[in-house]
Structure 1
């Protein structure tokens, strides 16, 4: 699995931890930045990760800002992205099973490192169930077609 990573300064520390964790597990990764604690803007990192996932260059993406909220809002502006902000293991599993999320957003100032790694592992390992959930994903795609 190929995974695109991105964060602003508020998510840098957690992104580096996740990157190291996933590299040790053998995943192919690309880090779209940031690489500095200097203040920067999360949309600048949400966009290239989102575009790379939608284009099929990466299977999934992980984005991190201070809360996970702003970066997920920015990511979800890209048609084809289903980014979920997650701070617990149940939601990590459910957003893959039911929503076929292709980007995970985490809050570097909200989720501790141990829990974040557990969330990432669950999210990566969980498959989309399809079935009754597919019609809902199709309706989301219809909304994108209508408004984008």
Structure 2
């Protein structure tokens, strides 16, 4: 029975420590948190590309429409400000993660990267269109 109680206390202490680390401000210095993201579990990995169901431009439109706020956490000094979306708006826009009370770093990174890829595709399309239009203008300006 003592082992069971000790084990339960140990699990509770680890849970409280984990919760405190999640809610407490990060220690000074560079962050040392890593977000696991590898192909060890291939049945849960699905590539994201427009041909496979995720449209980067749709994600980008959601990012553009996402309300952005500034705030500070209760434990921070009055002069500290953070910038970003509220988790409830994030959940409503993207339906990522398992709660509307926080935003997972990995989801934020994913949305940002998909949006960057969409912007890159748009830049390439606009560059190609501009090149074609310039060639057309040059041709029209040439004496006949």
Say which structure is richer in helix.
2
Provide the TM-score with structure 1 as the length reference. 0.20
Say which structure is richer in strand.
1
Provide the TM-score with structure 2 as the length reference. 0.20
Larger relative contact order (Cα-Cα within 8 Å, sequence gap ≥ 6): 1
Higher gyration radius (CA):
2
